[in-house]
Chain A
Amino acid sequence: MKTVIPLKKYFPEEFLYKDIGTRAMVMHILNSHLSAMTEKPDEVEVDFEEINFISHSAAHEFVKQKQQMADEGISLSFVHMNQEVSFMIDLINRKDLKKPLIHIHRAASSESFE
């Protein structure tokens, strides 16, 4: 059985920008939708229509849940992603991604903000 989760229903209609910003929001959406079902689905489609942006953290949580659900025999797929959302989701799957290399230096103990 297949079920579709329209993410836009979790936001007020008048929002021009509908963002999934936190891991908690990802879990809330998946849990509230799936717990309301009487039968366990074997296919879950997350519909990103009208979602403008997701954070790196939220994208990571979606991909993590996709892997966990696959282990339980449930297929989780993402549809109607715009360019930004698609970029973030793809980013999580990239194996060559490196964290930004930033050099931090320590102020001498006598150095203040002046």
Chain B
Amino acid sequence: MEISVHPCDSDDVKQLLKEFSRLLVLLNQAKDEKFITITLKHIQFITPFLALFLSVSINMIKNAGCEVHLEKPHNPDLISYLDTIYFETGVSFQTKEECVSFLGSHSAKSFLPILHFSASEDSLQTEIRDSMISASINLLRSKLNLNAQQINLYRYLIQEMVDNILQHACVDNGWLFAQYYPKKQYLDLCILDTGITILGSFQKHGFTHVDNHLDAIQSAVEGTSTKPDTGRGYGLSSSLKAMLETKSDFILISGDGLLHNQTLYKLPSSWPGTIVFFRIPLSIYFSVYELFS
């Protein structure tokens, strides 16, 4: 079986989603194969959203016992880019010093490499992960020359989405990847897990009336929390509100549900986990305070 990644207009989020949907169907079929080829030779460029999705999918297919041959792009710049972002493997850290030193060495880059972080709540992994988040914020701030309000919005989004993985996904690891485009003046940020999905989290906590992925996504963005304490359930709803107010793009995929801004779609195939993607114009002027006003 050969899966070819098609070129698409990366500025058009709907085209990006169409290509994602097509690849998702094919990659899910590939899990039953013994050998597949994934070819990148037709593309000149790859977005963080597709790069992260493909990286993790290749990992999952390999773990399912399928041998994957990756046919490299023709474009040498893209080959070099894929190497630098740690396409397929991502980069993970054993100590927080290693994390700080590595991310510090990326201060001249327009991207964070694909970060593969532990979702464990043990002390060591917690310190490494929170250092990774802080180092990422430092990197974005220095590269993008952001004002305080902008940086607060980015850190809010990253922190809440990473915390969602820890609190709800029941998974060992999460993934994070960001890239900014100086000419296009936007930042792409993608956070992904291969956990139990939003629906799985609702069902695990006894919300039996939520019985499909679309209902689960809708309930989550409307602020329903699976945990009993008051004051929870703000992460997704406030993040979506921020994206709508700033005319950014927000994509939330969980199982076969896909939310693009305020529209929910049913996918033809299912992602075994949750993906959150933000495309944020660099010119926004938005305060986190406004989220709660």
Contacts and interface: CB of A to CB of B under 8 A. Distances in A.
A104 interface: yes
28 contacts: A10-B130, A11-B131, A12-B96, A12-B100, A14-B104, A15-B131, A15-B138, A16-B141, A17-B138, A17-B151, A19-B134, A21-B162, A21-B163, A22-B162, A23-B166, A24-B129, A28-B126, A53-B155, A55-B160, A56-B160, A56-B234, A56-B238, A84-B152, A92-B231, A100-B240, A102-B241, A104-B221, A112-B265
A87 B152 CA distance: 12
A65 B78 CA distance: 48
Contacts of B240: 100, 102
B107 to A, nearest CB: 12
A34 to B, nearest CB: 13
B123 A21 contact: no
Contacts of B244: 102
Interface of A: 10-12, 14-25, 27-28, 31-32, 53, 55-58, 60, 63-64, 84, 87, 91-92, 97, 99-100, 102-107, 109, 111-114
A97 B230 CA distance: 11
Nearest to B96: A12
A99 B130 contact: no
Nearest to B133: A21
B11 interface: no
Contacts of B284: none
Interface in B147-166: 151-152, 155-156, 158-160, 162-163, 166
B106 interface: no
Contacts of A55: 155-156, 159-160, 163
B185 interface: no
Closest 9 A/B residue pairs (Cβ): A21-B159, A99-B223, A55-B159, A100-B241, A113-B14, A24-B121, A113-B17, A28-B126, A57-B163
Contact of B263 (A12, A31, A105): A105
Given A28-B127, A109-B266, A19 B159 contact: yes
A109 B137 CA distance: 39
Task: Provide the main secondary structure of the chain B interface.
Answer: helix
Nearest to A97: B292
A23 B14 contact: no
Nearest to A99: B223
A24 B129 CA distance: 10
A99 B233 contact: yes
Contacts of A91: 292
Contacts of A84: 152, 288
Nearest to A31: B123
A70 B139 CA distance: 39
A28 B160 CA distance: 17
Contacts of A92: 231
Contact of A15 (B127, B134, B163): B134
